[in-house]
Structure 1
Amino acid sequence: MPRSVLLGTGSALPATRVTNDDLAARLDTSDAWIRERTGIVARRIADASTTTADLATEAAAAALAAAGLPPQAIDLVLVATATPDLTFPATAVRVQARLGIAGGPAFDVAAVCSGFVYALGVADSMLRAGQATRALVIGAETFSRLLDWEDRSTAVLFGDGAGAVVLERRDPPEADDVRAARGLLAIRLHADGRHEGLLHVDGGPGSTGTVGKLRMAGREVFRHAVHNLASVCHEVLEETGLPIAAIDWVVPHQANLRIIEATARKLGLPMERVVVTVHEHANTSAASIPLALDAAVRDGRIREGQLCLLEAMGGGFTWGAALLRV
């Protein structure tokens, strides 16, 4: 059966780095308070002239360069985002045009922090069904524009950025154990809309006619996150028959260091095998997994043939996990 194989990764971050001390100068908070509760030291914030499509296009170009492919080799573009440039058209269409691609499908995926894993699932299904040969899957956010900068419980948590991967449809080679072949081995996705009120934005074009601001019940989100993430990670392992010991790296959604550590403990994995970028990126929603993945690929931690477990949970609630042999 065809498989979606990773060819390249890329990322983009705004130039402006905002530290905890910078925020403490305008909010009733401190560097120590933020670090202790979240593990965050700094985040990148886009200036007024930078859009989600700008960051997405830059990350996509870097992923294409890493894959050694021209943009015209791509026939599917997906952008996972909760902060599109416009109500319509999709941010993916804008990225497609800027890269000089035309003809193939391009659309956005809205699942907030789980968006990148959801988009991987969509791309994988389309590639395996023969509807495309190569896909750009991008997570991109200008999440700072959804924040209430007077609310210290949420304003300190988020940042802006983008990450991207290039996937190609390939037939795995003949092997005694197909799990050893490169590509996406399993994806599991879930949602439970009953918990919308715990993590949401209080506006939108179909309700208030405004963008709205992010609202979150932090303690409840934490409790659900650890349980749901550990559970869905076990699901993808059970689907493949692989033990937790086979995982080389966990690349989690970078929401909060406490959530990352608690999930790793629940899975029985040491933090030495977990990619962590939350200290410098903060929570970049749909961009956080591809940003972390690209960072670990580029610094040599993640190498071809290794098995990576990607996992995320976001507003909705939505959550999911993917097993990827790079």
Structure 2
Amino acid sequence: MIVVMQRGATEREINYVVERVQSLGLRPHVIHGTERTVIAAIGDKRDEHRASLESCPGVAEVIPILAPYKVASLEVKPERTVVRVGPFIAGNLHIGVIAGPCSVESEEQTVSTARAVKAAGATALRGGAFKPRTSPYSFQGLKEDGLKILALAREETGLPIVTEVITPADVPVVAQYADILQIGARNMQNYRLLEEAGYAGKPVLLKRGPAATAEELLLAAEYILNTGNHNVILCERGIRTFESHTRYTLSLATVVWLHQRTHLPVIVDPSHGTGHSALVPQMAAAAVAAGADGLIIEVHPRPETALSDGFQSLTFEQFEATMELCRKVAEALGRSLGAAVPATCH
């Protein structure tokens, strides 16, 4: 249920309703809007408590939540959530750009990439320190040494770090270094990991699984939101279909569908979504045109020598050209993409 408070409801009235919701065995989620405060009451047997909550002081109305995903629903929060971490902003009219190597391989590789993507307008640095790979014999990442390299790159450039966490036990150490915790596609329904990442208190970037529906993505996000962490970013990164001309099938219609149902920002990963660097620029621009709140793009100084996913990584020059293309599309739609770039960078 959604408990909609009256305009001008006092903190005392809001706290009273929160306590009342808790006394009924439900979990309250307080969401402060620009005009009103709403309290989502989550739990079993919600409707039977409707009359009890409607009689509380300061309550305007109590509305059932129809969507199976509760806190993520536009029914609960019609205003768009905007996630801000330093220069990175995703949501509403802001298009955040996360860029960097698939894997952290060395200090020189990571720091040089961070400098290049920042110069092109990126607002966050991605890089894998813990790498879940299909084969146990593939490069598994530098782990905490990789996190330390990412921290050096942040110190050098000021870009916040986005990096993947793959087990609940790794959350504390990754959260020490990362500004945004990434949940990869393979772990979208690892519910204990989702909860631990939520409790860490850092913004969480949640990627859609390759065989997951959009509704399942929202229900996975609900596990994070249910911890009280409302800074969740959804990521469309392509799904597995019968097509073989791309690594995955990048479903940009999902961006529009999600925006019609959730207040959470939605970003797109055209690197994994296509698997081919030649397709990334146009699909990134198409994602911006579809209303994406951000992009996450793999960039490497020498893709041909990359230890993972070199075939879908852009060079520095290709990334700069991609940013120019996407910026034109964003400006045509009255939106801002990434950070402003000085004229000398073009």
TM-score with structure 2 length normalisation? 0.28
Bigger-Rg structure (1/2):
2
Higher relative contact order (Cα pairs below 8 Å, separated by 6+ residues): 1
Higher strand share: 1
TM-score with structure 1 length normalisation? 0.29
